Amino acid sequence: MSDGSESSVSDRSAGQRVLLAIALPLAAAAITGLFVTNFSETGKLSSQGATAVLMSNIAVVSWLLGLRWYGARGLGLRGGRPLYAGIGFAALAWIVTLALRIFFVEISPVGPGNTARTFIYLLLFEAFATQIWTYGLLFRAVAGWRGPITAAITSGIFFGLIATLLFQESYSGSQLNIIYFIIWGILYGIIRLRTGSLLGTVLIQSLQSFSAWVALPPYPEPQQSQLQNLYLSATVAYLVIIWRLWPKQEDDYRL
């Protein structure tokens, strides 16, 4: 009886951590959103600036909670071989996406401006801020509650939903667009599970978004038919990579 009671308490505690890992960053974003909306309506803050403020608050709360519960390594902030492995796996998706982007979506003849500023934004507020919450805090919380595979899938779904709502490259609100971002997120979740580090995917995500949508801007805006072909073909490619990276045994897990 005591073993069952202790197991029940432990499971409940792990479930509470999952709820806190979701609720507290969202609460911080909601509170900040009240001020962001006011500044945006008065023209004092651009949409990119508003997103940066929201995501930075989510990142700070996730960082502090994650360090308290799991430490830096537990959050996936690992260099060395985990970092290089993450870069290698994520680069496969980057190469595929860039090739498909060039093939399906018309490129603007006019070059981009403020590229350094845009890359910093992509690196800090779309890549790092999103991933420190999804593949850092949330991943570890769900892994302690329902296991590593569930953690990879759950964190990937959250990543996809955030990308659909906030990422600059989310040009379409179609169902295929949402599916594409979720599959992209699950791919990164599997990479996080296989390598134990999120730093590689942070770097490659920012490079992928920058090279595909900033260095090669769409002209003038991507047509829906072009986007549908891109999202469909990229989703299939990501599924193949997920299949190849899917862990076959517990020794493949790197939490």
pLDDT tens-digit series, residues 204-246: 999 999 999 988 888 877 788 889 999 999 999 999 999 999 9
Tell me the average pLDDT across 133-137: 97
Residue of higher predicted confidence among 42 and 106: 106
176 part of a folded domain:
yes
60 part of a folded domain:
no
pLDDT tens-digit series, residues 140-173: 999 999 999 999 999 999 999 999 998 988 887 7
Domain count, the chain: 1
63 part of a folded domain:
no
Can you give the length of the chain in residues?
255
How far, in Å, CA of 36 to CA of 40, rounded?
6
CB atoms within 10 A of CB 58: 25
119 part of a folded domain:
yes
194 part of a folded domain:
yes
143 part of a folded domain:
yes
pLDDT tens-digit series, residues 48-68: 888 888 899 999 999 999 999
144 part of a folded domain:
yes
Query: Which residue range forms the structural domain that includes residue 92?
Result: 72-252
66 part of a folded domain:
no
Q: What tokens were used for 250?
A: 């517990």
Which pLDDT value is given to residue 1? Answer: 45
